Amino acid sequence: MAFISVFEVLGPNMVGPSSSHTAGASAIAYLAQKMLGEKVKSASFTLYGSFAKTYRGHGTDRALIGGIMGYETDDTRIRKSFEIADSLGISYQFIENHEDTEVYPNTVEIAMTGENGRQMTVRGESIGGGKVRIVGINGVEVDFSGEYSAVIVIQQDKPGVVAHITKCISDRKINIAFMRLFREAKGHTAYTIVESDGNLPQEIADEIKQNEFVRDVMIVQA
């Protein structure tokens, strides 16, 4: 018999009517802006499945805007996220995709540009109870929850890179909860995602970048 916690019964602390359509959407966008690593200046949200059908009525749109501005799921500013984003000069658009039906029902793909010109696309799924799964970064299929602090390494798929990453983490006495490698194809762009039980020191990014095949490192604190 499976057991669930009282928090799964009650749901997350949140603003909005739906843990899947509001809190989950906010959490995906919140993780996305953390991964971008700078303030979002423009964002395009492509909505799939039930997100595309009900995003206005369930406040998914306001939750997504709040999330990219760094608001957590229980931040009451989400109610006025459109007005706040407009006042900050953040541009945004929502695109309904009703053609791709082989997609998880509560899915959004966020294409962001930061204040320093950095661009990134993140695809996420809201899987219920406010929990989410990030399933794509810049078109590469990945899989992580955001429930743990994570090091996300963008690299060329070359021998020795993963060993370098694990050594940097081991030298810092960081306990690894999960570690996964995702890649476009052999020898092409790859993503190593390492999730940890505790917070990650920011300086570990500079250490990992010392490998010639590492292109970028993102630290996402839970």
Residue 63 pLDDT > 50, yes or no?
A: yes
Mean pLDDT for 62-71 is: 95
Extract the tokens encoding 121.
């696309």
Domain with CATH 3.30.70.260 in the chain: 149-220
Q: Which pLDDT does position 213 carry in this prediction?
A: 97
Q: Please report the sign of the dihedral spanned by the C-alpha atoms of residue 66, residue 136, residue 134, residue 173.
A: negative
Of 4-18, 115-129, 137-151, 191-205, where does mean pLDDT reach its minimum?
4-18
Domain with CATH 3.30.1330.90 in the chain: 12-138
pTM, two decimals, is: 0.84
Residue 4 pLDDT > 90, yes or no?
A: no
Which are the contacts of 168, defined by CB distance < 8 A and separation ≥ 6? 204, 207, 208
| Band (54; pLDDT cuts 50, 70, 90) | confident
Which of 94, 108, 97, 78 is closest to 42 using CA atoms? 94
Q: Which pLDDT does position 11 carry in this prediction?
A: 47
The values of phi and psi at residue 37, to 5°, are 80, 10
Q: Which CATH superfamily is domain 149-220 in?
A: ACT domain (3.30.70.260)
| Band (42; pLDDT cuts 50, 70, 90) | very high
Task: For residues 66 and 82, give the distance between their C-alpha atoms in angstroms, rounded to a whole number.
Answer: 8
Task: For residues 156 and 16, give the distance between their C-alpha atoms in angstroms, rounded to a whole number.
Answer: 41
Q: At what angle do helices 60-68 and 24-36 cross, to 10 degrees?
A: 20
- For 114-137, what is each residue's pLDDT tens digit? 999 999 999 999 988 788 999 999
Q: Which pLDDT does position 159 carry in this prediction?
A: 94
Residue 27 pLDDT > 50, yes or no?
A: yes
Residue 14 pLDDT > 50, yes or no?
A: no
| Band (20; pLDDT cuts 50, 70, 90) | low
What are the angstrom distances between the C-alpha of 145 and each of 54, 125, 170, 210, 211? 24, 10, 22, 27, 27
Residue 18 pLDDT > 60, yes or no?
A: no
| Bridge partners, residue 131, by sequence | 128
Structure-token match 């963008």, residue found: 154
Q: What is the residue type of 94?
A: F
Residue 59 pLDDT > 90, yes or no?
A: no
Q: Which fold has domain 12-138?
A: 60s Ribosomal Protein L30; Chain: A; (3.30.1330)
Mean pLDDT for 90-98 is: 96
**Average pLDDT score over the chain:** 88
